[in-house]
Amino acid sequence: MTFPTAPAPHVVAHDSVGRVMRIVIYALLPTVALHVVFFGVGLLIQIALGAATALICEAVALRLRHKPIEPFLKDGSAIVTAILLALCLPPLAPWWLVVSGTAFAILLAKHLYGGLGANPFNPAMVGYAVLLVSFPVQLLQWLPPAGMEIEHVKLSVGETIQTILTGSLPSRLTWDAVTSPTPLDALRTSLKLGMTMVEARAAPIFGTLGGRGWEWINLATLAGGLALLVLRIIRWHIPVAMLGAIVLCASLMYLVDPGTYAGPIFHLTSGASLLGAFFIATDPISAATSDRGRVIYGAGIGVLTYVIRTWGGYPDGVAFAVLLMNLSVPLIDRYTIPRIYGHAR
Amino acid sequence: MTTEELVTGGLRLEAHKQRSTKAPIRAASLTERYVIPLDQHSGLPAVPLVKPSDRVRIWQPIAQPAPGISAWLHSPVSGEVLAIEPRPAPHRLGAPTLSVVIANDGRDERFENAAAIVSFERLSPNEACEHIARGGIVGLGGAAFPTASKLASSLCENGPKLLLNGAECEPYISCDEVLMRERAEDIVFGARALLHALCSPSCTIAIEDDVPDAHTALRLAIDKVGDARIRIKVVPAIYPAGGERQLIATVFDTEVPHDGLPADIGVVCQNVGTAAAIARWIRDGQPLVSRIVTVTGDGVRDAGNLETRIGTPFSSLIADCGGYTERMSRLIMGGSMMGTSLPHDDLPVVKATNCIVAASSLDLQLRGAEMPCIRCGNCSQVCPAFLLPQQLHWYLQPFDSDQLDRHGLLDCIECGCCDYVCPSQIPLVERFREAKPLLTRELDAHLSADAARTRFLARNERLARLEAEHRAKLAAKRRPKNEPSS
Amino acid sequence: MITALVTIIILAALAGVATVATAGAPKEISLVHRIDALLPQTQCRRCTFAGCRPYAEAIAQGAADINQCPPGGERTAKALAGLMGVTPKPVGKEYGVVPDYPAVAFIEEDACIGCTKCIQACPVDAIVGASRHMHTVIAADCTGCELCIPPCPVDCIVMRPAPAVVR
Tell me how close the Cα of C35 comes to any Cα of chain B, in angstroms: 13
Cα–Cα distance measured from residue B256 to residue B413, given in angstroms and rounded to the nearest whole number: 13
Cα–Cα distance measured from residue A81 to residue A286, given in angstroms and rounded to the nearest whole number: 13
At B2 the pLDDT is 26
- Do B267 and B388 belong to one domain? no
- Do B379 and B255 belong to one domain? no
Judge: A71–B390 Cβ closer than 8 Å, yes or no: no
Give the residue from B392, B153, B405 showing the smallest Cα distance to B258.
Answer: B405
Phi, psi values for residue B358, rounded to 5°: -90, 95
Q: Does B370 touch chain A (CB under 8 A)?
A: no
Residue B13 belongs to a domain: no
How confident is the model over C114-166, as pLDDT tens digits? Answer: 999 999 999 999 999 999 999 999 998 999 999 999 999 999 999 999 887 65
Q: What angle, 0 to 180 degrees and rounded to 10, lies between the N-to-C axes of helices C52-61 and C31-38? A: 130
Residue B335 belongs to a domain: no
- Do B280 and B395 belong to one domain? no
Tell me how close the Cα of C98 comes to any Cα of chain B, in angstroms: 16
pLDDT above 80 (res A73): yes
The 10 Å Cβ neighbour count of residue B4 is 12
Q: Which residue would you say has higher pLDDT here, A202 or B191?
A: B191
pLDDT above 90 (res A164): no
How confident is the model over A94-104, as pLDDT tens digits? Answer: 999 999 999 99
Q: What residues of C are in contact with residue B455 (Cβ under 8 Å)? A: 124-126, 141
Q: Which of A121-125, B44-48, C31-35 has the lowest mean pLDDT?
A: C31-35
Q: Which residues of B touch C (CB under 8 A)?
A: 440, 444-445, 448-453, 455-456, 458-459
At C143 the pLDDT is 92
Judge: A10–B373 Cβ closer than 8 Å, yes or no: no
Residue B400 belongs to a domain: yes
Residue B439 domain boundaries: 373-480
Q: Where are the beta strands (DSSP E) in B253-398?
A: 267-271, 290-296, 304-309, 330-333, 340-342, 355-359
Instruction: Specify whether the CB–CB gap between B293 and B175 falls below 8 A.
Output: yes
Judge: B337–A287 Cβ closer than 8 Å, yes or no: no
- Do B283 and B162 belong to one domain? yes
The number of folded domains in chain B is 2
Sign of the torsion formed by the C-alpha atoms of A153, A154, A156 and A158: positive
Judge: A1–B386 Cβ closer than 8 Å, yes or no: no
At B5 the pLDDT is 39
Residue B121 belongs to a domain: no
Which residue positions in chain B have pLDDT lower than 70? 1-8, 114-117, 156-157, 480-486
Spatial neighbors of B434 by CB under 8 A, at least 6 apart, are: none
Cα–Cα distance measured from residue A272 to residue A279, given in angstroms and rounded to the nearest whole number: 10
Instruction: Specify whether the CB–CB gap between A120 and B394 falls below 8 A.
Output: no
Judge: B456–C126 Cβ closer than 8 Å, yes or no: no
Residue B180 belongs to a domain: yes
At B482 the pLDDT is 57
- In this complex, how many residue pairs, one in chain A and one in chain B, have their CB atoms less than 8 Å apart? 170
Judge: A71–B429 Cβ closer than 8 Å, yes or no: no
SS3 at position A319: helix
What is the pTM for the complete model shown?
0.87
Domain termination site, one of B260, B275, B291:
B291
Peptide bond into B48 cis (omega under 30): no
Chains contacting B with at least 3 CB pairs below 8 Å? Answer: A, C
H-helix segments, chain A = 17-39, 42-64, 69-74, 77-88, 95-103, 123-134, 136-139, 157-166, 175-178, 183-192, 197-201, 214-230, 237-256, 264-269, 273-275, 291-311, 318-335
Closest residue to A284, CB basis, from B338, B341, B375? B375
Judge: C165–B445 Cβ closer than 8 Å, yes or no: no
| pLDDT tier at C28, thresholds 50, 70, 90 | low
CATH number at residue B206: 3.40.50.11540
Cα–Cα distance measured from residue B158 to residue B139, given in angstroms and rounded to the nearest whole number: 24
Cα–Cα distance measured from residue B409 to residue B415, given in angstroms and rounded to the nearest whole number: 13
Cα–Cα distance measured from residue C150 to residue C118, given in angstroms and rounded to the nearest whole number: 9
Q: What residues of B are in contact with residue A232 (Cβ under 8 Å)? A: 5
- Do B385 and B266 belong to one domain? no
Residue B343 belongs to a domain: no
Domain termination site, one of B245, B276, B291:
B291
Cα–Cα distance measured from residue B30 to residue C49, given in angstroms and rounded to the nearest whole number: 69
A3, closest residue in chain B (CA to CA):
B343
Q: Burial of A179 by CB count in 10 Å (0-12 exposed, 13-18 middle, 19+ buried)? A: middle
Residue type, position B28, single letter: A
- Do B160 and B263 belong to one domain? yes
Asked whether this complex has an ipTM greater than 0.85, the answer is: yes
Instruction: Specify whether the CB–CB gap between A145 and A212 falls below 8 A.
Output: yes
Judge: B411–A342 Cβ closer than 8 Å, yes or no: yes
- Do B377 and B280 belong to one domain? no
Residue B429 belongs to a domain: yes
At B7 the pLDDT is 44
Q: Does A283 touch chain B (CB under 8 A)?
A: no
Task: Give the mean model confidence (pLDDT) for residues C47-76.
Answer: 90
> Residue A251 has what DSSP assignment?
H
Instruction: Specify whether the CB–CB gap between B97 and B39 falls below 8 A.
Output: yes
A35-62 as b/e: b if 16+ CB within 10 A? bbebbbbbbbbbbebbbebbbbbbbebb
- Do B255 and B396 belong to one domain? no
Sign of the torsion formed by the C-alpha atoms of A55, A58, A63 and A64: positive
Sign of the torsion formed by the C-alpha atoms of C146, C150, C151 and C157: positive
> Residue C94 has what DSSP assignment?
G
Q: What residues of B are in contact with residue A7 (Cβ under 8 Å)? A: 341, 427, 429-430, 433
Query: Which domains does chain C possess?
Result: 31-95 (1.10.15.40), 101-162 (3.30.70.20)
pLDDT above 80 (res A171): no
Interface residue of B296, B388, B394, B404 to substitute, partner A, most A CBs within 10 Å: B388
H-helix segments, B253-343 = 272-284, 314-320
Cα–Cα distance measured from residue A272 to residue A183, given in angstroms and rounded to the nearest whole number: 11
Closest residue to B375, CB basis, from A12, A13, A117? A117
How confident is the model over A268-311, as pLDDT tens digits? Answer: 888 889 999 999 999 999 999 999 999 999 999 999 999 998 88
Q: Does B133 touch chain A (CB under 8 A)?
A: no
Residue A140 bridge partners (DSSP): none
Chains contacting A with at least 3 CB pairs below 8 Å? Answer: B
At C167 the pLDDT is 42
Mean pLDDT rounded to a whole number for chain A: 89
Cα–Cα distance measured from residue A317 to residue B295, given in angstroms and rounded to the nearest whole number: 62
| pLDDT tier at A313, thresholds 50, 70, 90 | confident
Cα–Cα distance measured from residue C16 to residue C18, given in angstroms and rounded to the nearest whole number: 5
Task: Give the mean model confidence (pLDDT) for residues C28-53.
Answer: 89
Chains contacting C with at least 3 CB pairs below 8 Å? Answer: B
How confident is the model over C65-117, as pLDDT tens digits? Answer: 999 999 988 889 999 999 988 999 999 889 888 888 889 999 999 999 999 99
How confident is the model over B250-290, as pLDDT tens digits? Answer: 999 889 999 899 988 999 999 999 999 999 999 888 999 99
Domain termination site, one of B265, B291, B317:
B291
Spatial neighbors of A252 by CB under 8 A, at least 6 apart, are: none
> Residue A285 has what DSSP assignment?
T
